Amino acid sequence: MQKVGIIGSASVGQTLAEGFKKHGYDVRIGSRTPAKLAEFSSKSGISAGTFADVAAWAEAVVLAVHGVAAEEALRQAGDQNLRGKVVIDATNPIADAPPIDGVLQFFTGPNESLMERLQAAHPEARFVKAFSCVGAARMVNPQFSGGKPTMFYCGNDAGAKAFVEDVLDKFGWERADMGSAAAARAIEPLAQLWCIPGFRQNSWTHALSLLWS
Ligand SMILES: NC(=O)c1ccc[n+]([C@@H]2O[C@H](COP(=O)([O-])OP(=O)(O)OC[C@H]3O[C@@H](n4cnc5c(N)ncnc54)[C@H](OP(=O)(O)O)[C@@H]3O)[C@@H](O)[C@H]2O)c1
């Protein structure tokens, strides 16, 4: 799968679009108003379209939209354009409410996840949660003196995860497969944890690492 369509036009969408391009993929990026990406397209050489244009063209999709709008963005992308495709889900279920003592508020509860909702709404798409637990600036080939950081990922489809594993290797991550889509209940809150030093100390340059003995 070489044609990667990014659904989402902000920092995560633009960063991952450039990352996939850097690693040799054919990339397009989507927005409800593609014209606003004219400057990004002219600088990056990555063309823009609507969510539906990009999803229809792509062989694999990255979802990088505002969490509260994720279901709506995929509705606009079109279920028929997602069937059978890998959907790398970088979103987090962040509520429209301020953090409490640096802890982001979620609109999901502890025994559910946004990705499971999205998977249930699009049963023939092959969702893999990834890139959700680090800041956009460190998603592509991050450099840390302590070595490679860990990307936690999960999903129900082994073939979809194999595609994402190859991407994570290229993008410079240690991989930690947490199992089925239900593990998104544990992976999505890692974004809350990752953001705490940011909100409390304005420190955003870290990543998570899992050590094995
Ligand atoms: N920022 C980070 O460092 C970071 C790191 C890890 C994970 N994440 C997660 O990645 C996702 C993207 O984050 P971000 O900071 O790049 O951008 P964002 O501001 O959370 O989302 C921007 C995107 O959401 C779309 N959107 C907003 N409202 C919409 C609606 N009502 N219907 C359809 N689409 C809508 C926008 O569409 P238009 O293009 O049409 O404006 C845009 O593409 C979020 O879920 C976030 O939690 C972010």
Residue type, 95: A
Phi, psi angle pair for 60, to nearest 5°: -140, 150
Q: Residue with structure tokens 């003995």?
A: 213
Distance 106 CA to ligand 1 centre (A): 15
- Closest atom of ligand 1 to CA, residue 76: 33
pLDDT in tens, the chain (213 residues): 799 999 999 999 999 999 999 999 999 999 999 999 999 999 999 999 999 999 999 999 999 999 999 999 999 999 999 999 999 999 999 999 999 999 999 999 999 999 999 999 999 999 999 999 999 999 999 999 999 999 999 999 999 999 999 999 999 999 999 999 999 999 999 999 999 999 999 999 999 999 999
Judged by DSSP in three states, 27 sits in strand
Where does ligand 1 bind, in terms of residues with CB under 6 Å? 8-13, 31-33, 64-67, 69, 72-73, 90-92, 94, 132, 135-136, 191
| Ramachandran category for residue 102: left, alpha or beta (phi over 0 → left; psi -120 to 50 → alpha) | left
Hey, which residues does 86 pair with through a beta bridge? Answer: 60, 126
Tell me which H or E stretch contains 129.
Answer: strand 126-129
In this prediction, residue 105 carries a pLDDT of 98
Helices 114-121, 70-77: axis angle to 10 degrees equals 30
| Whole-number Å distance between alpha carbons of 147 and 166 | 19
Distance 12 CA to ligand 1 centre (A): 7
In this prediction, residue 155 carries a pLDDT of 99
Q: For ligand 1, atom 35, which residue shows the shortest CA distance?
A: 69
- Closest atom of ligand 1 to CA, residue 67: 45
Q: For ligand 1, atom 28, which residue shows the shortest CA distance?
A: 69
In this prediction, residue 1 carries a pLDDT of 72
Residues 6+ apart with CB under 8 A from 16: 6, 62, 64, 90, 131, 139, 140
Residue of 6, 11, 12 to mutate, ligand 1, most atoms within 8 A of C-beta? 12
Residue of 51, 66, 92, 96 to mutate, ligand 1, most atoms within 8 A of C-beta? 66
Q: For ligand 1, atom 18, which residue shows the shortest CA distance?
A: 66
| Whole-number Å distance between alpha carbons of 16 and 126 | 19
**pTM of the prediction?**
0.98
34 in Cβ contact with 27 (< 8 Å): no
Phi, psi angle pair for 131, to nearest 5°: 65, 10
Distance 210 CA to ligand 1 centre (A): 27
Cβ neighbours of 40 (radius 10 Å) = 18
